[in-house]
Amino acid sequence: MSAHASSEKVDEKDEGALASAHSVSSLREAEYEEYLALKAHYDRDPAAHRRLLRKLDIRILPFLSLLYLLCSLDKANAGNAKLFGFLDEVPMTGTQFNLALTVFFFTYGVCELPSNIMLRRLGPRVWFPIIICLWGTITTLTSVINNYGSFIAIRLALGCSEAGMYPGAYFILSTWYLPHELQTRMAIFYGANTAAGAFGGVLAYGIGNLDGHHGWRAWRWLFLIEGVITVAAGLAASYMLPDFPYAFKQKWLKGDEARYITLRSKYHAGPTPPDMTFKWSDVRAALKDWKTYTIMSMFWWGGSVPTYSLSYTLPTMVANLGYSNIRAQALTTPPYVFATVVTVCVGLWSDRYKSRMRAIMFSYCLGLTGIIILMVTVHYSHLYAVSYFAIFLAAAGYSAQAPGIGAWLSNNIVSPTKRAAAIGFMMAWGSVGGGGIGSNIYIADQAPTYPLGFGFSIGATVIGAMIPCMLNWYLLRRENRRRDAMDESVIKETYTEKQLSEMGENSPLFRFTL
């Protein structure tokens, strides 16, 4: 082959690449213009926009919240089982029981990132039914265990199968809602966790009356009933859950609605859409991003440690105030109901004023106030009413911070794959570290004053969460100001449209949510 012929082939290849790039650019311009037209239509008709959001909320939030409620029940019902004779029939010490609760978080944490990657690749309608039916079956099998070894095995398997629910749901919500809509929806979803505490107390109270029926203690009925309900929900998930807005045609939305939702998920931040393809480099980028680690610290020390410790010890803590075991189960309900209301209200406020840091810091302060009051008043038996009130504050504050953290991280990562990986990694460390520590700091021998538990929760919140929160806010604000000082025309001359798209939130045109 002559050099001239070879040169012609290279030229043809370059021309083909240029033509392809021009075609992609033209498609993006056309899509962006279509998005702007649809956005203008919904901006002119706020009622139509509210109807569309309600349609999304009705389709996505109730069922997703139900799944998380079941996940929270199946994860935390060991605390209720303990009050219903579990340790009488499955011989183990209190230390062994706490160790079994702890090992759950190792498989739970290790599997969160891989599960979010599988979710990103397979979609909710495939991946979620698999993991839900799996953990429901495992919960059901817990009702027939008779020794410590089988309980350890069950908790390890349960951690692995439940790992994908929480981070996966946060990622799904981040694909459907815009940044200023997200925390409210995450708060409503997370309310299922706090509602699980309320519903779990009521359910345990009712199941407690089955103690002795057909020769089974109440704890066996608890695991059996909750497990069967979960499997049924898993089978329904493939029909009830929608897929990602950009993945398939959404038949439950009208033509213009579906098109608008699809386009706004791509172009809401501007004419340069994120790369929607799955790339392992985006997973690695999530693990190298400093934002992942500041948010992870907040979620770990200011969220998981106090939240898990409270959920596992609340029935016992209330019982220590002088109530019977069954009545203590019922009295755990009001604090969780209050926490659910506060969580949603904080989410609404944060979205309305587009401020994540202030909402998160308020939540930390509220939870911290409750823990401090509780630490003081448990020394005085006649102040049991004040102690009970402090539980309301602690439950509300430590519940309200979680949706804000999830929304803050999601708002500031553009690539869907990187976002899924960052959420999974953040929650992995929160689960392993927070759950592993939180389930062990309230030691039974220290009841009812729990000096280690209260002291550790206060220190973790201040040092591990509030300081990283302010650091995250400061660094993001500094970067926004640096980019504000840049000339947009120079940026567009320096970088191509493809380069800006691949840069994601590192693009000089992107502004971080504070």
Q: What total of structural domains would you count in the chain?
A: 1
Digit-coded pLDDT (tens) for 285-322: 999 999 999 999 999 999 888 887 776 666 666 766 66
Residue 395 in contact with residue 194, Cβ under 8 Å? yes
Q: Tokens 């240029």, residue?
A: 18
Pick the more confident residue, 12 or 101: 101
Q: What is the pLDDT of residue 18?
A: 47
Asked, for residue 55, whether it belongs to a domain, the answer is no
In whole angstroms, what is the distance from residue 469 CA to residue 450 CA? 27
Return d(Cα 41, Cα 408) in angstroms, integer: 29
- The answer to whether the CB of 418 falls within 8 A of the CB of 332 is no
Is residue 6 assigned to a domain?
Answer: no
Which of 162-166, 274-278, 488-492 has the largest mean confidence? 162-166
Give pLDDT, residue 15: 53
Q: Quick one: which H or E segment has residue 314? A: helix 305-320
In this prediction the pTM is 0.85
Q: What residues contact residue 509 under an 8 Å CB cut-off, 6+ apart?
A: 270, 272, 483, 488, 491, 500
Q: What is the pLDDT of residues 314-343, one digit of tens each?
A: 666 676 666 655 566 667 778 888 988 999
The pLDDT of residue 196 is 66
Query: Lowest-confidence range among 123-137, 263-277, 285-299, 313-327?
Result: 313-327
Question: Which residue would you say has higher pLDDT here, 115 or 82?
Answer: 115
Number of H helices, E strands in the chain: 23, 0
283 exposed, middle or buried (CB, 10 Å; 0-12, 13-18, 19+)? buried
Whether residue 33 has pLDDT greater than 80: yes
Q: What is the spatial distance between Cα 489 and Cα 404, in angstroms, rounded to a whole number?
A: 34
Question: For 4-13, 62-71, 200-209, which range has the lowest pLDDT when averaged over its residues?
Answer: 4-13
Mean pLDDT score of the chain: 85
> Within 10 A of 374 (CB to CB), how many other CB atoms are there?
23
pLDDT of residue 82: 79
CATH of the domain at 174: 1.20.1250.20
Stronger pLDDT, 451 or 192, i.e. the higher one: 451
Instruction: Judge whether 72 and 192 are in contact, CB under 8 Å.
Output: yes
Least confident of 26-30, 131-135, 225-229, 333-337: 26-30
3-state SS track over 414-435: CCHHHHHHHHHHHHHHHHHHHH
Q: What contacts 506, CB < 8 A, 6 or more positions away? A: none
Give the residue-averaged pLDDT of 55-73. 90
The model's pLDDT over 462-471, given as tens digits with 9 standing for 90+, comes to 999 999 999 9
Question: Which helix (H) or strand (E) is 301 found in, with range?
Answer: none
User: Tell me, what's the pLDDT at 200?
Assistant: 67
Quick one: which of 418, 426, 66, 443 has its CA closest to 240? 66
| pLDDT tens by residue, 236-255 | 998 899 888 876 667 788 87
Please enumerate in sequence order all residues whose Cβ is within 8 A of that of 167, keeping only pairs 6 or more positions apart, or say none.
Answer: 112, 113, 115, 116, 420, 423, 424, 426, 427
Give me the domain span that covers residue 337: 63-246+254-263+282-506
Residue 53: inside a domain, yes or no? no
Cα 179 from Cα 429, distance rounded (Å)? 24
Q: Considering the domain boundaries, does residue 460 fall inside one?
A: yes
pLDDT at 424: 92
Rounded Cα–Cα distance for residues 343 and 196 (Å)? 14
pLDDT surpassing 60 at residue 2: no
pLDDT for residue 443 is more than 50: yes
Q: For 103, what's the count of Cα atoms within 13 Å in the CB-facing half-sphere?
A: 16
Q: Any residues with CB less than 8 A from the CB of 356 and at least 6 apart, and which?
A: 183, 350, 404, 407, 408, 411, 513, 514
Task: Give the confidence band of 508 by pLDDT, cuts at 50, 70, 90.
Answer: very high
Say if CB 442 and CB 313 are below 8 A apart: yes
pLDDT digits (tens, 9 = 90+) for 152-171: 999 999 999 999 999 999 99
Which range of 18-22, 106-110, 266-270, 484-488 scores highest in mean pLDDT? It is 484-488
Q: Above pLDDT 70, what percent of the chain?
A: 88
Residue 10 is predicted with a pLDDT of 44
The residues, any chain, with a CB within 8 Å of residue 452's CB and separated by 6 or more, are: 441, 442, 443, 446
Asked, for residue 40, whether it belongs to a domain, the answer is no
Residue type at 24? V
Residue 212 maps to a domain: yes
Q: 230, exposed or middle or buried, with CB in 10 Å at 0-12, 13-18, 19+?
A: buried
Q: What is the pLDDT of residue 216?
A: 83
Domain assignment of residue 52, yes or no: no
269 domain-assigned: no
